[in-house]
Every structure is written in C-alpha cells, then in structure tokens.
Structure 1
Amino acid sequence: MIDKVADTVAQALQGVRDGSTVMIGGFGTAGIPNELIDGLIAQGARDLTVVNNNAGNGDSGLAALLKAGRVRKIICSFPRQADSHVFDELYRSGRIELELVPQGNLAERIRAAGAGIGGFFSPTSYGTELAKGKETREIDGRMYVLEAPIHGDLALIKAERGDRWGNLVYRKAARNFGPVMAMAARATVATVHEIVPLGALDPEAIVTPGIFVSRLVRIDRTATQAGGFKQAA
C-alpha cells in the first residue's frame, strides 16, 4: 500500500545531505513551508544551495536558516527588501554566495528542469551583468541569452490538502512555486493542513500529482496561525 504520510517533520526530512540543493516554495510571505524549514535547521544539513524567490524575511523561516549558517549559496530573484537584514549581513561579509535570476527566468529554469528541457533562450538580461559568461544568439532580429535548468535534490513546499498517495491541491497564492519545484527536485516534501481519503480530491483540482511527492506531513492550521507549529497526530 502506498502511503507517503510521515508522522513528524523530522521523519519527513530524514536523509537530507550536506551540500544539497534545496528548493523552497513561497512568494514573499505566501506559501512558505516554515515548519519544514525549521525542521531542516534541526536536521542539521549544511553547505546548502537554496532556491527561493527571495532571501528571507525578518528572522524566521528562510532567514533563520541563513542565520544558522547552513546556506552556502542562494539562487533567487529578490534578495533585498525592507526586512532582509540577515541576508544583507551575510552577503556584505562574504559569507554567502548569490546567483541573481530575474523572476520569469527563475520560474522557467525550474520548470525546464522538471520538463526535461536542456535549456532555453530568453531575451531577459541580455546586455547586462547577468548575461556574462552565457551563450547569446540572435533569433528573428532579437538577442537572446541561453539559460540552464535548475535541478534540486529536495523541494520543500506547502499545500492545502493531500492524500496518502501525495496528490496535492493548494490555497490561492500559496501555490506559487510549489508545483514546478516538485517536478524539478529528486525528492519533494510537502506540508498540508488536511489529509483526505483517496478519491476525495477532485482529479480536475489536483495541481501536483503524487508521482512528484515523496513525503507529506500534516500541520495543524491553528497552531501555525498562532505563530508556532504543532504536528498533528
């Protein structure tokens, strides 16, 4: 019987290795799998490359992972914002490497990895520092830059509901990078607020099929909203 439900976050994150490339879903503060990030800090993996839309907010979530000194490199679109002081300090002191990627290119590079595409040409960043060292080509009179796919060893994402096979549906904007990251990573761990019986999810509403999900763990919604988290039994 296929059952991908883990009893705890720690169980779901077993086996994460030092040096892994970890994709973390979220856009701003929407859809961030904070419980999984906290679990990754507790798990202890180091020298990580993190792929995310930004570089953390305040002192929690991704910012806490950075502050713990676990991240060697971050690949993102928006590393600096009003409350990105953790990243700012690390970057200015040379303790973290940054690969800056325009947001559309970031999404497409992740999608390309999941789709098995070896690369694609994009006009974005042509003639800028971001195109240095990359192949360029003129297509129909316009210059393009060759962009490579971004593969992950692990994706950490947040969904709304799932079943024991790992099929997932999302809540509104919390969907963001989750589906493409699940496809681009060798393993995917998802949190859900509800685990439903097989067949309860409308097949037309399933966004991430279970084939792309390795493990999922249920997180109590009220505990999450209260600022902490409580793993459901």
Structure 2
Amino acid sequence: MASKTMDGAREALAGVLFDGMTIMAGGFGLCGIPENLIAAIREAGVKDLTVISNNCGIDDFGLGILLAGGQIRKMISSYVGENRLFAELYLSGKLELEFNPQGTLAERIRAGGAGIPAFFTKTGVGTLVAEGKEVREFDGELYVMERALTADLSIVKAYRGDHEGNLVYRRTARNFNPMMATAGKVTVAEVEELVVTGRLDKDNIHTPGIYVDRLFKGPVFEKRIEQTTTRPREESTQEKVGA
C-alpha cells in the first residue's frame, strides 16, 4: 500500500486539484484552519472553486487569500462577517453565496460523510432559508428538508497524526474538521505533530485513518486571531500583600 505521508502541502495536493472543483475547508474563524494547504491551493492557481467552510477567513489570511486571488466562485458558509472583500464581492454580484444556519451546515456535512442524502430540520422553517425547499409536517410540526454536502477535496488540520492517517484535534480547533474529513472524495490533512503508528491513544482518535488519503507535517502555523480583546490584569492577593 502506498504511503499516506507526504513531504509537504504541494506534494499532498498533487493530482487532486482542478478548476471548478468543490473544496471543504475545516476551521472556525481562523481556529483550526489548514493554512498550509490553503496557501498551496493559492499557489496552484486553480479557479472557479466552490468552497464549503464555516467562513472565508479574513482579507489577508486563510481562505481570504483565495478570495483575493479571484479563485472562489461560490461559498457555502455560515458566517462571513470578518471579511470586507467578501462583502464587496457578494454585494457586487461577483461571488455566489449559500448561507446556512451553523448547525444545519454542520449536519449537512455530517450527513454527506455518512451517506445520508437529505434530512429534515425545524431550523429555518418560515424564513428565507426555507425558500425553494421541501417543507413537510411531522407530528404536527413543520420541518424543512436540507440536502447533504460532499466535496471533491476536504482539507483539514489536526494537532497530531500518525502515518496511517489517524488524527487527533486539539480543543476548539476540532470544530468542523472531523466531519469534513469524512465527506470528501479525497481528504488531505496537515498536522502539527506526525508520530509513528501506534503511538496515539486508540480510545481518543477523532478521525480514523480510513478517511484520510494523504497527510503531512506542516512546516509553520501562524495561528492568527481575528480580534484580540484584552483588559488590565487584576492585582492578585499576593501582590497586594507584598506591596
């Protein structure tokens, strides 16, 4: 069996990128985004992309660099408020947008990975979200039908991975990554630490290697924060006593 471990993002994406493809990208804001893979896609220059992600990064980082490069045709997202260019392109009609309630987006991706073509949810009934979709009554309540989402390529970011592709995510950086890893025809992961197979605690593997086709150890992770809000540090009791 061919090795899943690659030398870097460019090698990991070799032969899987093409114009007009659909890409799922893990992350929530800038937390847990596959930043090295996004940069490699920018470098490859593929265009006319449909991107499924909670949001589209910021103007100069994350998926925002694909937007700035004119590579994204359509976004399927939940939140886009941190990207000024996104708003400009959408309002000018240069970018297609399919908005989803966040839980609905997550469930559409999970359903795609599980082979479930559609499901019914109460979220969005009677709103713009339900326009053009089937609405059905169950036990006296109305539900809107949502279709599952899959992609040609899923790019995800994990904390640790082994050579078989088993992945472990760290805290909130898990977010959309596990479900997206199951819903791509090809799944490529970048990890902070690459360990020998068998070292990961088997009871705490979040994504089994069967879902991962290729992975590599990222050379650098900026881990930017969209907005940093701080307040003055409160003086501790010990500091007061020693004063």
- Given that 1:13 and 1:43 are in contact with CA atoms closer than 8 Å, whether structure 2 keeps it comes out as no
Matches within 5 A, 1:173-192: 173-192=172-191
Aligned-partner Cα distance in 1 for 2:8–2:36 = 10
One-letter amino acid of the counterpart of residue 40, structure 1: I
Is the counterpart of residue 44 in structure 1 residue 45 in structure 2? yes
- Given that 1:110 and 1:180 are in contact with CA atoms closer than 8 Å, whether structure 2 keeps it comes out as yes
Aligned-partner Cα distance in 1 for 2:99–2:108 = 13
Q: Which residue number corresponds to residue 69 of structure 1?
A: 70
When the two structures are superposed, what TM-score results if normalisation uses the length of structure 1?
0.92
Kindly provide the CA deviation profile for residues 191-226 of structure 1, in whole angstroms up to 9, marking residues without a partner as x: 111111111011111110111001111013xx4248
Is the counterpart of residue 224 in structure 1 residue 224 in structure 2? no
When the two structures are superposed, what TM-score results if normalisation uses the length of structure 2?
0.89
Please state how far the C-alpha of 1:44 moved relative to its aligned partner: 1.6
Q: Which residue number corresponds to residue 31 of structure 1?
A: 32
Aligned-partner Cα distance in 2 for 1:204–1:97 = 41
Is the counterpart of residue 105 in structure 1 residue 104 in structure 2? yes
Q: 1:132 to 1:226 in 2, by over 3 A?
A: closer
Identity of aligned residues (%): 51
* Structure 1 unaligned blocks of 5 or more: 228-233
Is the counterpart of residue 164 in structure 1 residue 163 in structure 2? yes
One-letter amino acid of the counterpart of residue 67, structure 2: L
Please state how far the C-alpha of 1:94 moved relative to its aligned partner: 1.1
Kindly provide the CA deviation profile for residues 105-141 of structure 1, in whole angstroms up to 9, marking residues without a partner as x: 0000000011111210001111111111110011111
Query: Hey, which bits of structure 1, 4+ residues long, moved more than 6 A?
Result: none
- Given that 1:56 and 1:87 are in contact with CA atoms closer than 8 Å, whether structure 2 keeps it comes out as no
Aligned-partner Cα distance in 2 for 1:121–1:225 = 39
Kindly provide the CA deviation profile for residues 146-183 of structure 1, in whole angstroms up to 9, marking residues without a partner as x: 10000111011100111111110011111111110011
Please state how far the C-alpha of 1:60 moved relative to its aligned partner: 1.1
Q: Which residue number corresponds to residue 5 of structure 2?
A: 5
Aligned-partner Cα distance in 2 for 1:226–1:84 = 17
The number of residues matched between the two structures is: 223
- Given that 2:8 and 2:218 are in contact with CA atoms closer than 8 Å, whether structure 1 keeps it comes out as no
Please state how far the C-alpha of 1:50 moved relative to its aligned partner: 0.3
RMSD between superposed Cα atoms in Å:
1.3
* Aligned-partner SS, 2:221: helix
* Structure 2 unaligned blocks of 5 or more: 225-243
- Given that 2:167 and 2:207 are in contact with CA atoms closer than 8 Å, whether structure 1 keeps it comes out as yes
Q: Which residue number corresponds to residue 114 of structure 1?
A: 113
Aligned-partner Cα distance in 2 for 1:94–1:14 = 32
- Based on CA coordinates, which of the two structures has the bigger radius of gyration? 2
One-letter amino acid of the counterpart of residue 13, structure 1: L
* Aligned-partner SS, 2:51: strand
Aligned-partner Cα distance in 2 for 1:24–1:159 = 12
Is the counterpart of residue 214 in structure 1 residue 202 in structure 2? no
